Amino acid sequence: MSSTSSSPPVQLKSRIGAILRATSGNFLEQFDFFLFGFYARYIAQAFFPSHDETAALLHTFGVFWLGALMRPVGAIVLGAYIDRIGRRKGLIVTLSIMAIGTVTIAFCPTYATIGVAAPTIVLIGRLLQGFSAGVELGGVSVYLSEIATPGNRGFYTSFQSSSQQVAIFVASIIGFALSELIPAETVAAWGWRIPFFIGCLIIPVIFFLRRTLEETPEFLAMKHHPTTREVFASAAANWRIIVLGMMIAVLTTTTFYFVTVYTPTFGRTVLKLTTRDALLVTLLVAVTNFIWNPVGGALSDRIGRRPVLTGIAILSLLTAYPALHWLVEAPSFSKMLAVEMMFSFYFGVYSGTMLGALVEIVPKHVRTTCFSMAFALAAGLFGTFTPFAATLLIEHTHDKASPAYWLMCAAVLGIIAALTVFRGGEQAAKDRALAG
């Protein structure tokens, strides 16, 4: 009797532990990505010196984006490895590569010390991070979907994105503490490296967590694990669903990088708010992102993926520019917080739904590769390009609300893709994926 009564709590504890171990690598990825965006001004001064602040920022965000262009390469190469070897081993490999990139950036000397070698080393570090990140999200999402209980796939996969918000929250707390405890001149000179060093110290803990992962029962039950050549051939044959999956994911990636990575720079350099205000907004956004992701996943489990995806995308399309225009007309902390909370709601609910949808529409036997390719293309071509695009739009249009155009384009792509993929119903989309 006691054994039976204790079984559900034991199973729940085991599943929570598996979620924490699987998503730990996402923490490191987003922790470092956010820091790169938040300290972009200081990184620009250290590695890309220029008399023009906008030009220096564009160089920095350009390197940020170039690293993201390695995501599709990592998605296909590491995705094939995970689909062939297994989820557990693949996630350990991606973490190893990501750790090397993090350490490289944290300890790289400045341009003043080693000249042009400095930006080159930073670029290499970003390329390594982008290569590993290409499959990190897909590998974790697939892992969570394969350990999910029936009818709760959206809810389980949503914690992939929620884990990233924890990283943003922790990074914001560290940044806030530094801004309060250390003079601004010291932060600009070398203090910005401290959070990166902290990230390096976290790496051994994440390695320990990842090594204790168990392989998913669904992967173990597969009678045939495709070879690398078979994975590549199948991914090529399913290029259409990869492109549609990319279009669905674009709104997630652009909104995420806007409300997290770009927000601190937008608050300081465009709205002329204080560093403290920009950090506090970002911190609160991380909290609400964490909450809305599982809400979106659970909601889509109950009413379906398509209604949530199209509903949020339409709201984003209609409100992005009016909201930003209202903000930039008379910037204030309270107005920035209100607008960011709106975008946080859009991102969280949409992302929590999108992850489950993307897992379900890609072919099962190459699930990691196709999922990762779709998301990597969305992040590489659109998401991580957001800070650069926003800076460029403001520079050329002289309209501080113009980044909204970028978000509106993403919303249009999401609407078109969701209506196309789920035509005839969600079960039909799942059947087509299984047939593929």
pLDDT tens figures, 378-400: 988 898 889 889 989 998 999 99
pLDDT at 428: 56
pLDDT tens digit sequence for 330-356:
999 999 999 999 999 999 999 999 999
Side chain identity, residue 120? T
Does 266 have pLDDT greater than 90?
Answer: no
pLDDT of residue 401: 93
Which tokens in the block code for residue 336? Answer: 């920035």
How far apart, in whole angstroms, are the C-alpha atoms of residue 335 and residue 327?
6
Return the number of other C-beta atoms located less than 10 Å from residue 322's C-beta.
Answer: 12
What is the mean pLDDT of the segment spanning 90-101? 86
What was the pLDDT predicted at 3? 41
CA 234, 236, 237, 241 dihedral sign is: positive
Q: Are 356 and 157 in contact (CB under 8 A)?
A: yes
The DSSP letter of residue 271 is S
Domain ranges of the chain: 14-213+228-435
Q: What is the average pLDDT score of the chain?
A: 85
- For residues 83-88, average pLDDT: 81
- Mean pLDDT across the stretch 45-71? 74
pLDDT recorded at residue 413: 97
List the CATH code of the domain at 14-213+228-435: 1.20.1250.20
Run of H or E including 287: helix 275-303
The pair of structure tokens assigned to 418 is: 């969701």
237 half-sphere exposure, CB direction, 13 A CA radius? 12
pLDDT at 412 over 70: yes
pTM score, whole prediction: 0.80
Res. 262 pLDDT band, cuts 50 70 90: confident
CB 199, CB 31: distance < 8 Å:
yes
Q: Band the pLDDT of 138: cuts 50, 70, 90.
A: confident
Count Cβ neighbours within 10 Å for each residue of 342-357 and write b for 16 or more, e otherwise.
Answer: bbbbbbbbbbbbbbbb
